[in-house]
Structure 1
Amino acid sequence: MFERINPKLKEIFKRRWVKVFFAFIIVLVALNIIFPPKVNVPYSTLITDKKGEILHAFLSTDEKWRMFVELKEITPTLRKAILAKEDKYFNYHFGVNPIAIFRAAFKNITKNRRTSGASTITMQVVRMLNPDERTYWNKISEILRAIQLEIFYSKDEILQMYLNLVPYGSNIEGIKSASYLYFQKSPDRLSLAEVTTLAIIPNRPTSLRLGTKNPLIVEERNKWLKRFQKAEVFDNQLINDALREPLRVARHEAPKDAPHLSLRLKKQFADEAIIHSSVSKATQTKVEQMVANYVNRTRAMNINNAAVLVINNETMQVEAYVGSAGFNDKLDGGQVDGVQAIRSPGSALKPLLYATAFDKGIITPKNIINDVPTNFNGFEPENFDRKFNGKVSVEFALANSLNIPAVKVVKDLGKTTLIEQLKKADFQTVKKQEKDLGLSIVLGGCGVTLEEMTQLYAAFANDGNWQKAKMLDDKFTEKNVSHASIISQSATYLITEILAQIKRPDLPNNFDYTYRLPKIAWKTGTSFGRRDAWSIGYNKKYTVGVWVGNFSGEGVPELSGAEIATPLLFQIFNTIDYNTSSVWFRQPKEVVSRQVCAESGDLPSEYCSNKILDYSIKNISHTRKCTHLKKFYVNLSESMSYCTQCLPLDGYKEKLYSNLAPELLSFYELKHILYEKIPTHNPNCTRFFKTASNAPIITNPNNGSEYYLSENDMQQMQLACQTANDVREVYWYINDRLLQKNSANKPVFFTPSLGKLKISCTDDKGRSSSISVMVKGE
């Protein structure tokens, strides 16, 4: 069969017209490859919310409002109206309508002037893409380009190009731009009357100017509606409704919501015409308004700005992003993005510290820590209220944001461990500064952003699983979003229970803010110098981060996380989560209750009588036995104590004494707080005590430090130590030479010589400790 067909095919291909046809096809394909249609048009960048509503629009690079219309926005009504007016054979021709061309050519020739056009929608697209002078040669080029466009693109895509490029006067191009700037709605929400209005403007953009020529536009609109009625393009009822619809429009500003986020996304996705953010427009608008109103009130105290970030914990999407109280406010740099600004966190990092310590088994909520003056190698932190509370529990220390217990935990945990946790949670400044960070990191001695802090607290709401917040809608979000498990579900539960307590000092004085407040866990922070106020809260649904202060960095005496940032946090939760369900975080099975001694928070010993319940993490939390009481042998008058070596045969008894830490004893002495002292040890005893754990702790001067003293007026240097409860006297040595005997916990002053000094302190049990310092002259 193929042998019979082949000769016939050979005969056909020998014919001249066939050769010409195939040559034309080859040339056309080659031209298409060499000279493809140019459709690269700079569009306005649009930032939408998660439902597709425009939040913010930017001018195109050529200073035009040219908003990209999506195919889903081209409704059947819009499509039918445009085609009925501009090109009713659009779906049937190949870019050119030959009949229309011949008809237009005949009229133009017979009347010796241009009376009729023959441009299809495709040809108009070509002309708008390449606006050349109207000549016959350019018309031929336009026809060829139109055919080329039909080869490369579908009818829907060509119609979309037309609607994106059609002019509306001034710097407005495209039906979407006109729809938003005049009707303040998207094209898919336009009525037939509005669609027809926008269909007739491009032919006469100067004489039919919306907002100034509305009566004339209504006349022209109705003429076309009646033509549609005559051609039965739409049903009569729809036409009659459109004819009666009034036209009250004027030019409006382009949408300008969420300016800080919009600028950020535009910079990040510079090549995208439409960027679909994760923001909820309703939530964004409410939070923007609340922030603006709140700062209007705080300006009376010279507190001029605030920033807020709202994260949906279930999706980790940002639902509201407020970078400042007013983008156009020049008073305090309104265009600064407070969500990304690097600030000091104050005490807001403490929950991560305690959660990590829970996970390491170092502490449990009821463990006791001494909140007393403490010297950490030269670093002497103070509490926010400059007061000390003595013995406090871990949960009290966190709920009351005490500084000294937090630094003690950092020291026990190791600052490197805390830094690694912050690095896991993607704290960028911490990564850069980690070599320079010290124990003060937990008190605000590092740089953070509101975004980083809110993401961290969202991890508490997600069982300790940290994830980078998403600012794009899920359909468009970037892949491989960063995530990490930074703390256990058990530790997050313990932290959440502490932070959800209502009886706390950081509850605002104005309790009205808590009216019908959804149950939340929150933590405040105030930076050194009162420059930054933080309040970050979370529940099952949302995490809200609030920063209040001045972008200038100016401190304000009234600025604090509790009194200034927390009221705004409560307002936001009351608004966005007003009808929240009662669902709260469930206690993990690894979190169990156990009895502990109320005096120490450790497992009770045989001497502990006051026992309470505490949470612990199974197989993780420590199993230390309580040592808050220690048994001593004393004479019957309790004036002298004995050790086992000097214990007499009779005339003694056993008695329990508080085993107080040296720093707590010093605090009691300083504040004149009464405590039962252990009687002086038998002076006739020859035993030499070498227990290193009870050796004196030299608190001043600081080990390894350099001191500069004036050679002409040599100042005195203070020597101070902390000792155990059974110590009455200490002996100070300078370079192994006795300086002075002194009562325990009492300071000594001396005039040092220049050079390296070895300073030693020995208690009356023979226990000793030493440090070295360098004294230099100025």
Structure 2
Amino acid sequence: MNKKLKILFSAALAVIFMFIIIPLPDPLFEQDYSAVVLDRRGEILRIFLNKKQMWQLPPDSSHSIPRKLKQAVLFFEDRYFYSHPGVNPVSLLRALKQNIAGGKVVSGASTITMQTARLMQPKARTYANKLLEILQALKMELRYSKDEILELYLNHAPYGGNIVGYRAASLRYFRKMPEALSWAEAATLAVLPNAPGLIAPSTDPDRLKQKRDRLLQRLREAGLLSEESCRLAVLEPVPRRGYSTGLLAPHLTRRLHLQYPEQAVIRTTIDAELQRTAEQMVGEYSRQLQSLGIRHAAVLIVENNGGKVRAYVGSPDFFDRKHAGQVDGVRAPRSSGSILKPFLYALALDEGLILPKTQIRDVPSYFGAFSPSNADRKYRGVISARDALIYSLNVPAVRLLNAYGLQPFYYFLEEAGIHTLFRKADGYGLPLIIGGAEVTLWDMATMYRGLAAGGRFVPITVLKDVQTATAPPRRLISPGAAYLTLNILNEVKRPGSEYYWRQYNDGWPLSWKTGTSYGQRDAWAVGVSPQWTVAVWAGNFSGQGNANLSGSATAGPLLFDLFRILPKNPAKASFAKPQEGLKRIEICAQTGFKAGPDCPDKMWAEAPLHQKPLKLCPYHKRIFVSNNEEEQVCSLCWDESRHHSVVRLVYPPDVNQYIRQNGGIVDVVPPHHASCPALADAAPLKIVYPQKNAALWIPRDFNGRLQQVALRAAHQQRDQRVFWYLDNRYLGSSREKHTLAVTLAKGWHKLKIIDESGYSDQVRFYANLR
């Protein structure tokens, strides 16, 4: 064997040895892709830069390379791609001859496979490295199909600046997915990787257009492009820069990216079209509110079937840094106002405390140092549970919570989905039901969706296919109680033109509730239908109060605007009555309690199937009176032939007082026969404030002086005069409105009142000075 053959043989052996021992990288490319957040249909909501600050989308096996782009790339880069084994020998020999003749690298003769190998391990352009590329290309051809290699090349080819891969380039330069590229756009992407640093749109767009147009002409000459298509394609301009890829649901996508930093593709339940519309509506509505000093709003829309979040708007403008636009209003804890009341009423229905017609006392009420008041500063004496919830009265709600139990209600909130309770139940106290706790819009949507689901509570979700640990659904409210509560909420007065919704052909039922926090800092409105839950918050992220802010007037209109655009199924317009969830019981038609033997008017009402026994009507009482009904008598004082029984609606004195103040009529209970040996046990007067053994905190004014305390009493007989004594010292008298203001010293006090008939009431209480 001569020397030349030995050299060639040795070189061949070396090449074979290198082919065997030099492995392909594993993985072929570093897995450093831009995180992509997708909507329910795969539309991009947001793309994040990768760790190297590059735009590079992860490979998408669900989409093949578009035909136009594929033909343009193959025609420009490697027309024999599907014919050669990774190396084109003819091109390689021609390039070698040209480079030797020119004394420098004139032509690389790189196939797409060889370029892919170079992209895997970028190195200086030397003959040794070229040999390595050839070997790697041959290995790739043995392991991967042609289509897989072409996909690898296009996903990792440079397109100028910090753009890598054809999908990122398509979005950044043309703001569209590759499947929608025109011939001109496909040709642009085909020529860019050839010299991205020299002909990138931001570097030399004119040179880029010349190169693109030459490719288009060659495609026409090859019969791949018609004359007319080529002429029109050449007229299209090339991009002059990279554009934004678009941004939907910015607060949500940021949160998910931080939560799943290693997840390249995050698929959500968001509906991009609905999200886009919701963002626009929130932005426009917020601009209208700005003139009133209200800058922010947040919205969450949930499809009840599956609890899938379809729209998530954290603020009107994510990029408004001046006004904290990047604060996520969906997740920010805010004072709940009255938004939790429906759940208390539903629980009270199950507990047997109320039915919708059951009367609840609405009078000044004192629970230690806490005394709630209604928003309108008025009292009604008594009001049905239905109306108390519709009008969102505070006093009946607090009284109902006191009857139901603070601790059980607190446990319910935790189990149903509220995650912002950072104190124990006693730390919140009874104000919990009127805004004493902070909640989030996310948790409120979860809660109301649970009510719409018949009392079954389960977390809502925004992730389409990422497995998260979720608790199984929990039945916390009975289907019957949920149904009755939703029916009440459907009667809440709607704002603006929605007030007449029943008269519209396209009017739809919506069970909804509003809330306004103390100091008018937060406005809430949450509405549910069988299909949808829509939750709205409005206010200022700074926490600044505003006299124009209210749940109904501020958050309500946006709620109904959003509900109007949602797709609806006529078969699911109203909540279906639970077939096995209700029973009928006989109640007093006037008081709404279970009908007692003395109730004159009775009716049948629906109640939760397993409701605990409802209390018998406590107000209708049978009494014996003289024949002229001017005196009440008993067995010790009646005349056998001159008395008869009557039924009277007997409310406590404080209730009667406020019924009369509101123009109502109360039954008059005549005084007991004056000469009766035994007077009636119940006195017609009562001290309303302070209550027995109460501890009062006496505040001071701005000058440091102790403020006076308003003592209050109530009497069943309107014209009776009441005489007041404090610590056995006469204070004065009152008639009709029994209120007296006094200055108290620190310590224990005894308050006593006496009326003209000799009836009396007294309490002891303690005064603390602040």
Structure 1 residues 508, 420: CA separation in 2 closer, same or farther (over 3 Å shift)?
farther
- 1:441-452 alignment, distance < 5 Å: 441-452=432-443
2:294 alignment partner, one of 291, 303, 309 = 303
Partner AA of 1:415 in structure 2: L
1:571 is paired with a residue of what secondary structure? helix
- Cross-structure match for 1:542: 532
- 1:478-557 alignment, distance < 5 Å: 478=468, 480=470, 483-501=473-491, 504-508=492-496, 516-557=506-547
2:160 is paired with a residue of what secondary structure? coil
- 1:31-430 alignment, distance < 5 Å: 36-37=26-27, 39-75=29-65, 77=67, 78-88=69-79, 90=81, 100-143=91-134, 146=137, 156-210=147-201, 217=208, 219-225=210-216, 227-228=218-219, 234=224, 241-242=229-230, 244-245=232-233, 246-250=235-239, 251=241, 252-430=243-421
Map Cα deviations across residues 657-678 of structure 1 (whole Å, 9 max, x no partner).
2220343034357668653442
Structure 1 residues 750, 292: CA separation in 2 closer, same or farther (over 3 Å shift)?
closer
| Of 327-336 and 144-153, the range deviating more from structure 2 | 144-153
The percentage of counterpart residues that share the same residue type is 33
Q: State the alpha-carbon separation in 2 of the partners of residues 249 and 317 from structure 1.
A: 41
Q: CA RMSD in A?
A: 4.1
Q: Verify the 8 A CA contact 2:726 2:751 in the aligned structure 1.
A: yes
Structure 1: gaps of 5 or more residues = 1-16
Q: Verify the 8 A CA contact 1:513 1:571 in the aligned structure 2.
A: no
- Cross-structure match for 1:665: 656
Q: State the alpha-carbon separation in 1 of the partners of residues 468 and 542 from structure 2.
A: 34
Partner AA of 1:699 in structure 2: Y
1:558 is paired with a residue of what secondary structure? coil
**Aligned-residue offset at 1:635:** 2.9
Q: Verify the 8 A CA contact 1:210 1:249 in the aligned structure 2.
A: yes
Q: Verify the 8 A CA contact 1:308 1:320 in the aligned structure 2.
A: yes
Q: State the alpha-carbon separation in 1 of the partners of residues 41 and 139 from structure 2.
A: 36
**Aligned-residue offset at 1:193:** 3.9
Q: State the alpha-carbon separation in 2 of the partners of residues 156 and 758 from structure 1.
A: 95
Partner AA of 1:183 in structure 2: F
Partner AA of 1:549 in structure 2: G
- 1:694-733 alignment, distance < 5 Å: 699-700=689-690, 703-705=693-695, 707=697, 720=712
Q: State the alpha-carbon separation in 2 of the partners of residues 292 and 708 from structure 1.
A: 47
Structure 1 residues 690, 592: CA separation in 2 closer, same or farther (over 3 Å shift)?
same
Q: Verify the 8 A CA contact 2:631 2:671 in the aligned structure 1.
A: yes
Structure 1 residues 124, 722: CA separation in 2 closer, same or farther (over 3 Å shift)?
farther
Asked whether 1:604 is paired with 2:595, we answer yes
Q: Verify the 8 A CA contact 2:66 2:178 in the aligned structure 1.
A: no
Q: Verify the 8 A CA contact 1:518 1:580 in the aligned structure 2.
A: no
Structure 1 residues 717, 566: CA separation in 2 closer, same or farther (over 3 Å shift)?
closer
Structure 1 residues 158, 699: CA separation in 2 closer, same or farther (over 3 Å shift)?
farther
Q: State the alpha-carbon separation in 2 of the partners of residues 108 and 572 from structure 1.
A: 68
**Aligned-residue offset at 1:215:** 6.6
**Aligned-residue offset at 1:448:** 0.8
| Of 749-758 and 621-630, the range deviating more from structure 2 | 749-758
Q: Verify the 8 A CA contact 1:179 1:187 in the aligned structure 2.
A: yes
Q: State the alpha-carbon separation in 2 of the partners of residues 391 and 161 from structure 1.
A: 75
- 1:552-591 alignment, distance < 5 Å: 552-577=542-567, 583-589=573-579, 590-591=581-582
Structure 1 residues 695, 277: CA separation in 2 closer, same or farther (over 3 Å shift)?
same
Map Cα deviations across residues 267-296 of structure 1 (whole Å, 9 max, x no partner).
122112322222112111111111111111
Q: State the alpha-carbon separation in 2 of the partners of residues 556 and 276 from structure 1.
A: 39
| Of 97-106 and 433-442, the range deviating more from structure 2 | 97-106
1:392 is paired with a residue of what secondary structure? strand
1:335 is paired with a residue of what secondary structure? coil
Q: State the alpha-carbon separation in 1 of the partners of residues 210 and 496 from structure 2.
A: 62
Q: State the alpha-carbon separation in 1 of the partners of residues 705 and 95 from structure 2.
A: 108
Q: State the alpha-carbon separation in 2 of the partners of residues 231 and 592 from structure 1.
A: 81
Number of paired residues?
Answer: 747
Q: State the alpha-carbon separation in 2 of the partners of residues 450 and 715 from structure 1.
A: 40
Q: State the alpha-carbon separation in 2 of the partners of residues 637 and 593 from structure 1.
A: 40
Map Cα deviations across residues 730-762 of structure 1 (whole Å, 9 max, x no partner).
999999x99999999945777766545677899
Partner AA of 2:236 in structure 1: L
Partner AA of 1:248 in structure 2: P
**Aligned-residue offset at 1:418:** 1.8
TM-score by length of 2: 0.85
**Aligned-residue offset at 1:494:** 1.0
- 1:629-668 alignment, distance < 5 Å: 629-668=620-659
Structure 2: gaps of 5 or more residues = 1-9
**Aligned-residue offset at 1:138:** 3.5
Map Cα deviations across residues 757-777 of structure 1 (whole Å, 9 max, x no partner).
67789999999886553x456
**Aligned-residue offset at 1:700:** 0.3
1:522 is paired with a residue of what secondary structure? strand
- Cross-structure match for 2:21: 28
**Aligned-residue offset at 1:249:** 4.3
**Aligned-residue offset at 1:179:** 0.8
**Aligned-residue offset at 1:90:** 4.8
Partner AA of 1:404 in structure 2: V
Map Cα deviations across residues 385-437 of structure 1 (whole Å, 9 max, x no partner).
22223322111111111111111211111122221221122211125554411
Partner AA of 1:28 in structure 2: I
- Cross-structure match for 2:4: none
Q: State the alpha-carbon separation in 1 of the partners of residues 215 and 238 from structure 2.
A: 19
